Amino acid sequence: MKILLAVDGSSFSDSAIAEVGSRVWAPATEIKVVTAFQVPITPSPEVWTISDEYYPALENAAREQAQAVVDAAVAKLTARLPESLSLSGEVLNGPAREAILDEAERWGADLIVMGSHGYGAWQRLLLGSVSQAVVSHANCSVEVVHRRKSDNDAKAA
């Protein structure tokens, strides 16, 4: 079985990591941890005001931060899962929705696991929902992990 675990470094993706780490998987299972990053574009028409090093430096910083997210997730899973499982991580470039769906298709994932931020209707309308887009368009099974109420209360305290 091939499991694509999509993370973003939030406590919501920590719940997805914990869920994957708490299960017993068949020895031939492959788990691939991914995160996506996208370099923001400055909406300034005066591109001459930005130095040539700005965008490469911005992309490098975003890639490093994304790699740290993947590395932390892989470390958490390594501590919880048996060594017989294949565990890897990868940083994807692009919008999260498209990057996750494209990688699941390319890699041949059997299951995508991801956390839910639990946005309400207005937030989903304004911000969009990555998990909703992945559930709607994936060619494989998708598991969306929600934080338990007790997890939310503990974080707020």
The domain spans of the chain are 2-156
In the chain, which residue ranges form alpha helices assigned H by DSSP?
11-22, 54-80, 96-107, 121-127, 130-137, 149-156
**pTM: predicted TM-score of the whole model, two decimal places:** 0.84
pLDDT computed for residue 127 by the predictor: 43
Strand, helix or coil at 51? coil
Provide Rg for the chain, Cα atoms. 17
pLDDT digits (tens, 9 = 90+) for 88-107: 999 999 999 999 999 999 99
| Ordered strands of the 86-93 beta sheet | 86-93, 30-37, 2-6, 111-115, 141-145
| Other Cβ atoms closer than 10 A to 22 | 9
- Tell me which residues of the chain have a pLDDT lower than 50: 122-127, 151-154, 156-157
pLDDT digits (tens, 9 = 90+) for 108-128: 999 999 998 655 554 444 445
CATH H-level, domain 2-156: superfamily: HUPs (3.40.50.620)
